[in-house]
Amino acid sequence: MKISHSFLSAKPYVAPTWLRGGHAQTIYPYLLARPAIPYRRERWELDDGDFIDIDWLDNAPDAPLVVLFHGLEGGSCSHYVVSMMSLLRELGWRGAVVHFRGCSGTPNRLPRAYHAGDSAEIDWVLQRLGRENKRRGFNVPLYAVGVSLGGNALLKCLGERGRQACQLLDGAVTVSVPLDLAAAGKALGSGFNLLYTRHFLDTLKRKALGKLDLFPGLFDCAAVAACTTLYEFDNLVTAPLHGFRDTEDYWKQSSSKPWLKHIEVPTLVINALNDPFMPALALPGPADVSSAVILEFPEQGGHVGFLNSPFPGRLTWLPERIVGFFGELGGRAAPESTDALHTLQAS
């Protein structure tokens, strides 16, 4: 698919004057009220005996479908997911929020869970969605959005699949991705960023320790309970449960940055330069990506923040940017998208 570059004239992100700094722009969106989305949940059984839960936003069966892969310990109620699904609902598009194993509110069945490099799981989901579209006789656009950890796994999948991925997807957008997991892990291991680490570890450790009831001796209970960094948790839990030697091996093998040169699906990569999770110096440059990949690095935005004025703020820029990109690729859906976006901006 040939990429149209006219979307580059899209309105760039400008942070509110009253919300400055990467930390404020990351944390503040969590405080905003979130509208209810009328999801329909569907459970998909996996070949290894486990399952994942998909929350569907239903609309006309021949409408474009956007599948979203959430971030670490995220889900269909995360603020960035709700804002995306709210816009899709207004447009009459369909949405599918894929919960990684253990992230839908119900513990998964196996000792393993999910991780940042789980491209095989992404590929399995995309292939099933493609088969179901064909089975129902609809030739509709299928787009993917990956946020943070989910974006890393998506980019890795697209790079690994190369040209074959174009048979699965019409386009992809990733947001606030830790493209270099070692750099991101180091950033999250010190200073104010330990606040985010403690937030993630609160649920990660609880889930991991809960697995010991079903799988005694799976790992060192006391060591997991005492760990204070993602490096330690990945060394004790994530790496051994998913076939990696240690944290360094996991982070090296799972980082998506080396795969960006091999992506052939039209892909937009959005990362704020002030993202506390991903140092700007570790971000890729034009020489690090294929011609199918567009890099967009706003100066502000934090980690999956991108709040709009006026006060108290709206989470509209990011979903509008994503849909605008897909509209350019999809063609026939673009006019409807434009009308709906103007309506939302005026409300």
Active site residue 119: no
Active site residue 275: yes
CA angle (306, 149, 159) in 5-degree steps: 105
Of 78, 170, 275, 337, which residue is the catalytic one? Answer: 275
Of 148, 176, 254, 256, which residue is the catalytic one? Answer: 148
Give one word for 148, left, alpha or beta, with left for phi > 0 and alpha for psi -120 to 50: left
Site of tokens 């209970």:
221
Other beta carbons within 10 angstroms of residue 199's beta carbon come to 14
By the 8 A CB rule, do 177 and 270 touch?
no
User: For 321, phi and psi rounded to 5 degrees?
Assistant: -65, -45
Site of tokens 């609309």:
59
Of 79, 115, 242, 303, which residue is the catalytic one? Answer: 303
Site of tokens 């709906």:
340
The Cα 265–Cα 161 span in angstroms is 10
Active site residue 170: no
Q: Which residues are catalytic?
A: 148, 275, 303
